[in-house]
A and B are shown apart, each in its own frame.
Chain A
Amino acid sequence: MTEADHHDRELEELELELLLEAVYRRYGYDFRGYARASLRRRLWRRADLEGLRSLSGLQERVLHDPHCLERLLADLSINVTAMFRDPTFHQALRRDVFPELRTHPFVRVWVAGCSTGEEVMSIAIALHEEGMLDRSRIYATDMDADVLARARTGGFALEKVRDYTRNYLAAGGTDSFSGYYAVTGDQAVFDPDLLRTVVFAQHNLATDGSFNEFNLVICRNVLIYFGRDLQDRVLGLFDESLPRRGVLALGRKETLRGTAIEERYEPVVEAERIYRRS
């Protein structure tokens, strides 16, 4: 029984690797370095929904049917996000990072893996309230063109606004949250002025390079989807994009501890995973 299980797993691993390789070679989407267990779960879910009994079966269908690829990509993308997600993080950013940013004549921020834009909007609001938005530029990137298109609209589901208002207050917002948006149908559409200094662009952390230097790089809840090697690659990319004293902010459960770039960084607020390059 155990022997058989072991064997099955090796075979499955092989099928999984061939499937990812096929998707990459045929369509250019590179999931080869992604965290395996979560990937395996989602690939199997797609295989089940397609009525297929193996990952090789899924590979065959994906290669011959671009619609199946679309469905697979939808399964593989995780875009969950929120405004002022983890309010204590945003509070710490404002309290412990903004004062130094303020000393710069111009502030460059990179929000990597920005999804549908809630996080970018939160940062823009905080910079605005601190009087720094006008001399900032925020580069907001994601590999997924669809989420970027939604982010550019500056509109979010109205039903979420109550939660966002609570987060905003908990994050140390100093104004009236309702003053930032207008209600249109089921959307809260935020003041377009807030996105004036934001550049949305498609960028794939797995395959693209560093493209600028930034005072602050924010990449939250993206690295957890990557395997260790890909995490190292991406952290290297951030490292290249940060000057001395540049700040790197990760998600609540992501850390620099034990990574290749660890020794060049000191925690600004360890609990919030905010680090500064020394």
Chain B
Amino acid sequence: MTDRRLIVIGASWGGLQAVGEILAGLPGDFAVPVLIVQHRAEDTGDLLAGLLDRRGPLPVREVEDKDTLAGAGVLVAPAGYHVLVEPDHLELSTEAHVRFSRPSIDVTLESAADALGAGVIGVVLTGANDDGAVGLAAVRRRGGFAIVQNPETALVATMPAAARSSAAPQAVAELSEIAPLLVQLADGEAPHAA
């Protein structure tokens, strides 16, 4: 079993608020690297990392090409780039948009599942498209842990609903429950959520 772990959080419409709430709930000594893939316009520079950095105790920065995963903290996929995962580092790519998105949540989740198997925790949040559904299913198939924000209470239901039906996630959670769940999973406890 691999000891390398990675949390990938995918979000689209309404994501800034939702991701911010999760980061606000993670402690400053949270040790598992977190990679955020948030859809947004391509010319927004590193604005998002700056905004999220203020939401919680963990420092947030944009992914640099070939960033090492160990001790990476919280990383944000840069606007206009896909982020792919290798066992010990991250790669950037400007290959074609996948379902109109770059960064694409599917691309990151699929390659994370490929590289880290059961070490991956995938989270799909609010959004108005179905990016993340295929990727989260891959996470699940490779033995990882899949979490979907409850579509009924998400700002936009489409994306989490698609992920829920394609991935059969271990947890469908309220936004406020996600950070505590991640802390639990990071500590290696079996989660209680169903």
Contacts and interface: CB of A to CB of B under 8 A. Distances in A.
A200 B115 CA distance: 39
Contacts of B86: 36-37
Nearest to B110: A41
Contact of A2 (B64, B111, B143): B143
Nearest to B79: A252
Contact of A37 (B1, B78, B81, B91): B91
Given A2-B2, A224-B91, A37 B84 contact: yes
B65 A253 contact: yes
Interface residues of A, number: 26
Central interface residue in B2, B78, B111, B114, by most chain A CB within 10 Å: B114
Interface in B79-115: 81-82, 84-86, 91-96, 107, 110-111, 114-115
A45 to B, nearest CB: 10
A253 B92 contact: yes
Nearest to B87: A9
14 contacts: A1-B118, A1-B143, A2-B2, A35-B91, A36-B86, A36-B91, A37-B84, A38-B84, A40-B114, A78-B94, A223-B65, A225-B93, A253-B92, A255-B65
A253 B2 contact: no
B111 to A, nearest CB: 5
Central interface residue in A41, A42, A221, by most chain B CB within 10 Å: A41
A204 to B, nearest CB: 20
Contact of A255 (B64, B91, B111, B118): B64
Given A6-B117, A38-B91, A255-B64, 14 more contacts: A2-B2, A2-B118, A5-B117, A35-B84, A37-B84, A38-B93, A41-B111, A42-B95, A78-B94, A80-B96, A221-B94, A224-B81, A224-B91, A253-B81
A5 B118 contact: yes
Contacts of B94: 78, 80, 221, 224
Given A6-B2, A6-B117, A78 B66 contact: no
